[in-house]
Amino acid sequence: MKLKIKKISFESGNIKNVIINSKDAHELGQKAGERVILKNPHSKTIEDKYWVSILQIDHSNSLVQPGEIGIFKDIFNDKKYLKENVILSIKPADPPDSFKYIQRKIKGGKLTTEEINSIISDAVSGSLSRIDLAAFITAVAINGMDNEEMTSLTLSEARSGEIFDFGPEVYDKHSTGGVPGNKVSLLIVPIVAAAGLTIPKSSTRAITSPSGTADSMEVLAPIAFSPEELKTIVSKEKACIIWGGALNTAPADNILIEIERPLHMDPIGLMIPSILTKKLSLGVKKLVLDIPVGEGTKFPTPDNGKQFAYLFKEIAKNVGLEVECALTLAHQPIGHAIGPGIEAKEALNLLKDYSAGPNSLIEKSTDLAGILLEMGGKAQKGKGQSLAKEILKSGKAYKKMQRIIEAQGGNPEISPEDIKLGPHIKEFYALKEGHITQVNNAIINQIAKAAGCPFSKSAGVEIFRKQGARIKEGELIFKVYSESQNKIKKAEKIFNATGGPIILGGMMIERI
């Protein structure tokens, strides 16, 4: 069948979809989600002349008419010699061999390195549909992957995109997540870089949490760079804090993550390769992995965290990374600020003035930075945290952060006072006297997201008293910021419905 190209002005995502009218689909004998092979007679290379896409069907006649094929904007950018109104040939395509390998994994079979390479290659080329990849993710969630499979998957995902080389000694820190207010990377990176180690920190934006490192750093400086710009920044400052989504690193991992999120799946067999792939892509050789342990995290107990740490270290060793893992407390937020702008404000305050605290942020940041300083030979074993605290107290970390901000195109003189929070504010006060026995992270996350986090940089929450503190009736314990009065009301509704995240001690367990 021959169809005329119509350019669709939005992107299809990482999976290379095309769309045809329902009448043409009926004539072609194809259903939505099936594969088709396209031929562009005007292309001058084999790669651009033939390619496989996943078929979508327009039943409403709103996007394409009979005789047209809709090509999305991202495919236009990817394929040369594509022009509107050019005639393409389209015909059904057989499933790739990788589809058979996914079916074997569904049945509990083990995949070879070659079979994993085939799945990853077809995921990037678009030969596997979202349904195929969802089946692969589900199969891994149910049946797991052994060490050999995870090692092969890590290397295959890393090879799917660009791999940077910032020298023989490159360091990084990563967290498995689950703790609100975990802005420690904004302190660890300048501390480690100020000591002379190379630490190109690539982070993701938040999806399910109130803020990611990239979201908070974006308050201070731009975070999206081309590979050439990244190389310039790191060669100049030995450090960066950027958003990895702008780089062509590990596209296969990005594709899988896009499908994992709506499935609410993050199986260990994919999580470990995902973390390690991102590090390999940036040339990292030594890594400290922060594993928050406790309710609401991926690892509810220390034993869960230990088991994961030993497995992670083994796979990391297989792919050439030296890793140390730190099990950390996750029972309440790190610091007092949750949300992109307010977290950047708190981190900048501490960088400028060590005495500003808060203590939980100081201790966790310098603990993890200290491990990297020891791994890099800057401090003897057991002395790394002391050196990290010294670098933080001296102002060297703040000066390094200023240079990183400037290298990334931000204002190095930005002060905490320059960071404006939402104009709409709601304060919450203690209704009785008592001591705080628990802080509920899940409720804090709900309130912060209702206020507009992470998409609104000025939204956030501030928690004034934490576990162990004695409070009086009428004392300020919690504050919410938002750019919208409606969102403030939503946050207040969650606070009132849940009783708030601050739980006071007493003899009564529950009122029924």
**Token pair of 311 as six digits:** 């497995």
Q: How many C-beta atoms surround the C-beta of residue 83 within 10 A?
A: 11
CB atoms within 10 A of CB 441: 24
Strands (E) across 387-459 are located at 424-429, 434-439
Annotation says 266 is catalytic = yes
Provide CB contacts within 8 A for 395, sequence distance 6+: 352
Longest CA–CA separation in the chain, Å: 79
Secondary structure letter of residue 221 according to DSSP: S
Question: What is the C-alpha separation between 137 and 115, in angstroms, rounded?
Answer: 15
Enter the tokens of residue 476.
């300020």
Q: DSSP letters of 57-69? A: EESSSSS--TTEE
Tell me which amino acid residue 411 is: N
CA distance 397 to 319: 31
- Rounded to 5 degrees, φ, ψ at 240 are -165, 165
Per-residue exposure over 187-213, b if at least 16 CB sit within 10 Å of its own CB, e if not: bbbbbbbbbebbbbbbbbbbeebbbbb
Q: What dihedral do alpha carbons 118, 121, 124, 129 form, nearest 10°?
A: -20
Where b means 16+ CB within 10 Å and e means fewer, 378-403 reads bbeeeebbebbbbbbeeebbbebbbb
Q: Are strands 2-8 and 50-58 parallel, antiparallel or unpaired?
A: unpaired
Helix, strand, coil percentages (3-state) for the chain, rounded to 5, are 45, 20, 35
Catalytic residue among 48, 74, 78, 266: 266
Q: What is the 3-state secondary structure (H, E, C) of 386-397?
A: HHHHHHHHHCHH
Active site (catalytic) residues: 266
